[in-house]
Amino acid sequence: MFGDDGRGRTIERPRMRTLTQEVDTDRGPPLAVTLQHVLLAVALALAGQLLAAATVGNPIGLSGIAVSHLFLAGFVGITIMGAMTQFVPVWSGVALHSQRLAALEAWLVAAGLAGFVASMVAAELTLLHVAGTLLVAGIWVFVYNVARTLWQARPLDVTEAHFVIALAAFLVLTVLGYLLSLDFTQPLFTGVSVTRPAVASAHATVAVFGAFVTTVFGALYQLGEMFTQADDDRLDVVIQRVELLAYPVGVLALATGRLLGHATTARVGVVLVTGAVALVGVYLARKLYRMRTELSTVLVRYAVVAVAMVAWAAVTLPAWLAEPANRLTVLGTVASEPILLVGVFGFVVVGTLYHIVPFLVWLETYSDRIGYESVPMVEDLYDTRLARVDLLLLFAGTLLGAVAGAIEVPAAVELAGPIAVGLGLAVVAVNLGLVVARHGPLSPRGLLIPPLSTERSEDA
């Protein structure tokens, strides 16, 4: 099914089960580049959960910061980089600027993050900025590559506009993060009005809400409609317009208020950010209520995301209004933070991976065989029983984390949360790994060092 966006560009609105026949992925990177991002992201997520479980109640060095970066920068960040690199050219109908840069970015971020985590755990911070340089370089390569790609797609639709805002946030967060890494050994904030905790709060705010949540919003506007086959009605359009205006302003106000210690400015941001997150949750829930497709592995996880968005906003709003600049509640309260990290980010990423990986593998292996032999459907490539197991584990991990944050619980219950999340991610890794191993054309070496096309992109 195809439609027109009113600008003369054709929009693909394929049904879930015919998507393989209607999307032109030739404009995106090779399969190996996307799978490389997924492989590194999942590996870093598993490492983070192992570190989290090993240090519950017994932190090692700055292991808390290391765990948060492994999950956010590693799992969420690299997945977003891979998904956006794949998604933007296909959705926008333009060629990816550079396949080689796309393959390079993931390794730079992974290498920088590995050095960062090692320094944090060992509490050896003298070379932290060296690892930070690799990490920043990888993110800047990603921003440049996707920005050059989006430059060809003007004028921008609502999804592309969110991606541009997210790219700007990626640049800001890297600057703030690099300054923080330098400050460990070369104090930068002594004798100035801006304190290190304030910069750290602003850095986390821009990273999570400016870069990651903004990307999620933009993707869900397109993917929600595509997977549910429920066209936008008037209320959907109003929600998109209100959110696109209010949310970036809210993130800017919240980050600025936290950076400068202006409580009033931060509270304006609190209302706009939490309100926008709840609105998008309502938008997604309405899409799911009106869906015209069968309930799928992806949609079940998106249903959790819709509920988690509203729940996070409801729990976080009063606490943030009371103390908008509290450095211990930058991502939400102790109870609502797991809802955001696992209930929103975790389920968005896993749900999307359950489509991206099988779809790209199917396209590479089976698309040319249609009409000549019997071929499986995309959903047949992964094990639905394992998908149900990881769903239950991740959901349990979210609830356990929220409960442990809300009330005092035994240490065993507190430990059970990260263990459940880690096991859930491990099951996801096994399930998707089996898809690639059984159906994919690539060797393990091909995933680590992707074979790239020698053709230049349209604007190279």
In the prediction, which pLDDT does 370 show? Answer: 82
d(CA 453, CA 95): 13
Q: Are 246 and 271 in contact (CB under 8 A)?
A: no
Count of residues in the chain: 460
In the prediction, which pLDDT does 127 show? Answer: 81
CB-based burial of residue 382 (10 Å sphere; 0-12 exposed, 13-18 middle, 19+ buried)? Answer: buried
User: For every residue of 23-78, which 3-state class applies, written as one string?
Assistant: CCHHHCCCHHHHHHHHHHHHHHHHHHHHHHHHCCCCCCCCHHHHHHHHHHHHHHHH
3-class state of residue 288 by DSSP = helix
- Whole-model pTM? 0.88
Q: Where are the domains of the chain?
A: 26-154, 189-334, 336-438
The overall average pLDDT reported for the chain is 87
- Residue 14, pLDDT > 70, answer no
Q: What is the pLDDT of residues 359-378, one digit of tens each?
A: 988 888 888 888 788 888 88
Of residues 131 and 441, the one with the higher pLDDT is 131
Q: What is the pLDDT of residues 373-413, one digit of tens each?
A: 888 888 899 999 999 999 999 999 999 999 999 888 888 88
Task: 422-425: list long-range contacts, CB under 8 Å, 24+ apart.
Answer: 422/46, 422/49, 422/50, 422/52, 422/53, 422/397, 423/393, 424/350, 424/389, 424/390, 424/391, 424/392, 424/393, 424/394, 424/397, 425/42, 425/45, 425/46, 425/49, 425/75, 425/346, 425/350, 425/390, 425/394
Give percent of the chain with pLDDT exceeding 90.
Answer: 62
Q: What pLDDT band is residue 457 in, cutting at 50, 70 and 90?
A: very low
Q: Are 35 and 445 in contact (CB under 8 A)?
A: no
In the prediction, which pLDDT does 428 show? Answer: 95
In this prediction, residues 81-89 reach a mean pLDDT of: 90
d(CA 130, CA 119): 10
In the prediction, which pLDDT does 274 show? Answer: 98
In this prediction, residues 318-334 reach a mean pLDDT of: 94
- Residue 312, pLDDT > 60, answer yes
- Residue 112, pLDDT > 50, answer yes
In the prediction, which pLDDT does 18 show? Answer: 35
In the prediction, which pLDDT does 27 show? Answer: 58
CA 212 from chain centre, in angstroms, equals 5
In this prediction, residues 308-328 reach a mean pLDDT of: 96
In this prediction, residues 21-32 reach a mean pLDDT of: 58
d(CA 267, CA 394): 32
Q: What pLDDT band is residue 445 in, cutting at 50, 70 and 90?
A: low
- Residue 455, pLDDT > 50, answer no
Return the axis-axis angle of helices 158-183 and 78-92, rounded to nearest 10°: 150
In the prediction, which pLDDT does 185 show? Answer: 83
In the prediction, which pLDDT does 447 show? Answer: 57
In the prediction, which pLDDT does 459 show? Answer: 40
3-class state of residue 99 by DSSP = helix
How far is the CA of 202 from the CAs of 185, 217, 257, in angstroms?
Answer: 20, 20, 8
Q: What pLDDT band is residue 93 in, cutting at 50, 70 and 90?
A: confident
In the prediction, which pLDDT does 456 show? Answer: 41
And the tokens for 82? 């891979």
Q: Are 391 and 342 in contact (CB under 8 A)?
A: no
And the tokens for 278? 């709840």
In the prediction, which pLDDT does 228 show? Answer: 94
Q: What is the pLDDT of residues 203-242, one digit of tens each?
A: 999 999 999 999 999 999 999 999 999 999 999 999 999 9
